[in-house]
Each structure stands twice: as C-alpha cells, then as structure tokens.
C-alpha cells in the first residue's frame, strides 16, 4: 500500500482559470477528506466523503469549489474561476470510519494563483 | 464547537534536552486527540493519538503525549530531543459524535539546536 496520493503536486494557474486536483486514498479506507492549508496556519477542514456520499461541507467551501467521489474510490476537488486567495496547499486524507481511526494525509497539492 | 489551542508559535530546545509542545482543546463529548508532524513542503505525518484508556500515549520516533481531562490538555513530549525533530507540530481533536471533522491547531514550530 502506497498511502494517499495526490496529483498534481504543484499547479500554477492564472486568475479566473479552473483547476482540478485528484486524490487516491488508501485502498481500504471508506472516508476521504479535503483540507486546505495556508502558510502559518493549520489545516482547515473543507469536506469529507463516506464512500461516494459527501457528508459534510465547511462554510469555507464556497460555490466555486466542488468535490466528487463518484465510485467511492478516488476523489476530485475542482476550483472554478480561481482567485489569488485560493493559493494554498490542498491536502487530501483518508481513514476508516469511526472517530478514533487515524486519518492519513497525502503530500498535498500546492496551488499558486497568479 | 470544537477548537484547539497551541499557545506557543515556536519552541526552542537544545539537543539532548527534554521537549514539550503544549496543546489544549475544547470539544463536546469525549475527545479523540491526535498529534501530527509536518516537514517543509510535505504533508502531515501521524505521530500518536489518544482514544481512551491510559493517559500516557506513546507514539512514533520516541514521542509521547499525556492526556489530562481536567485541564483539557494533550501535551506532546520527548525525553531527549534530536536535531532531526525540528519541524512543525500540529495538535488535532475531534468529538465522538458522528460526522465531526478533525480540527487542527495553528501549529508549533520546534527548533532543536545542536
């Protein structure tokens, strides 16, 4: 098992463009999470899935953000009409269900909006 | 609402000395507490967690943490610091109710000098 993988690792885009990030979780994990981290801050929760169902979304997740997990395996996070304030590292994580189970993080996808 | 406080932005210790990184939390119900470490431009690595049972939890790389319910604290400790322990450390908490997300503190930078 290779852990949580994210692609691309780095993305530079012009303001107004759309970007999409992909996350492949640990294979047996039914929960998948997206977090955002800016410099000097801890990760901020965006959303999570249990299997293919999106169960919770943060108020941070504006209408320009959409996440999917169509077959309960990999997930995509799309940001439409990017803004400079979207520049951050987007972290994907996965776990088994249950609050005591460890959440394992990927290496993150850096987004720079110019 | 859940919250985590890491009162120190930075902790400086000399190699070989004991280290403590502080964390206090607020959560409804029983807490599930986690420590993660992050190296520059990398994702988060799991160190240890408290679910229930013994208040002293042992984790990876010689780290341990002590859960104190009355003080709502979960301080990270190591008896003898290494230069390679220098990194950014995050405390995180989630409650035992279904659907609660893992909430992170702002992080504490640990600097170990030789």
Bridge-partner residues for B77, per DSSP? B20, B64
Q: Which of A30, A37, A43 to mutate to test the interface with B (most CBs of B within 10 A)?
A: A43
Residue B27 has pLDDT above 60, yes or no: yes
Q: Shortest CB distance from B46 goes to which of A102, A108, A110?
A: A102
Q: What is the pLDDT of residue A99?
A: 83
Contacts of B55 (CB under 8 A, 6+ apart): B66, B67, B68, B69
Query: Distance, in angstroms, between A15 CA and closest chain B CA?
Result: 23
Q: Do A41 and B106 touch (CB under 8 A)?
A: yes
B68 pLDDT exceeds 80? Answer: yes
Distance separating alpha carbons of residues B5 and A74, to the nearest angstrom: 33
d(CA A72, CA A91): 18
Q: What is the pLDDT of residues A21-79, one digit of tens each?
A: 999 999 999 999 999 999 889 999 999 999 999 998 998 888 999 999 998 899 999 99
pLDDT averaged over chain B?
Answer: 94
Comparing C-alpha atoms, which of A27, A10, A21 is closest to residue A46? A21
pLDDT at A1 over 70: no
Distances in whole angstroms, Cα of residue A94 to Cα of each of A55, B12, B52, B60, B83:
14, 32, 22, 19, 30
Can you give the pLDDT at residue A89? 96
pLDDT (0 to 100) of residue B99: 63
Closest chain A C-alpha to B108 CA, distance in angstroms? 10
Residue A10 Cα, gap to closest chain B Cα (Å):
11
pLDDT of residue B84: 95
Question: What is the per-residue burial (b if ≥16 Cβ within 10 Å, else e) of B82-102?
Answer: eeebbbbbbbbbbbbeeebbb
Q: What is the mean pLDDT of residues A90-104?
A: 92
Can you tell me which residue has the tokens 């776990």? A95
pLDDT, tens digit (0-9, with 9 covering 90-100), for B85-102? 999 999 999 987 766 789
Q: Greater confidence, A1 or A7?
A: A7
Which among A72, A109, A68 has a CA at the least distance from the CA of A91? A109
Does the beta carbon of B14 lie under 8 angstroms from any beta carbon of chain A?
A: no
B1 touches chain A (CB under 8 A): no
């Amino acid at each position: 098992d290779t852990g949580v993988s994210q692609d691309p690792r780095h993305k530079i885009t012009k303001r107004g463009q759309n970007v999409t990030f992909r996350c492949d979780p640990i294979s047996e994990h039914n929960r998948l999470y997206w977090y955002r981290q800016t410099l000097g801050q801890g990760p901020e929760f965006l959303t999570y899935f249990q299997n293919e169902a999106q169960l919770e979304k943060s108020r941070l997740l504006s209408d320009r953000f959409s996440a999917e997990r169509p077959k309960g395996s990999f997930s995509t996070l799309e940001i439409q009409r990017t803004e400079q304030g979207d520049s951050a590292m987007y972290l994907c994580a996965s776990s088994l269900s249950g609050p005591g189970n460890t959440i394992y993080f990927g290496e993150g996808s850096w987004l720079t909006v110019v | 609402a859940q919250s985590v406080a890491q009162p120190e932005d930075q902790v400086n210790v000399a190699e070989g000395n004991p280290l403590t990184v502080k964390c206090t939390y607020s959560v409804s119900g029983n807490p599930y507490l986690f420590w993660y470490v992050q190296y520059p431009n990398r994702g988060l690595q799991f160190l240890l967690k408290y679910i229930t049972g013994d208040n002293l939890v042992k984790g990876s790389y010689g780290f341990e943490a002590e859960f104190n319910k009355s003080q709502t604290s979960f301080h990270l400790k190591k008896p003898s610091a290494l230069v390679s322990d220098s990194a950014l450390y995050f405390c995180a908490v989630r409650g035992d109710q279904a659907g609660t997300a893992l909430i992170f503190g702002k992080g504490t930078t640990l600097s170990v000098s030789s």
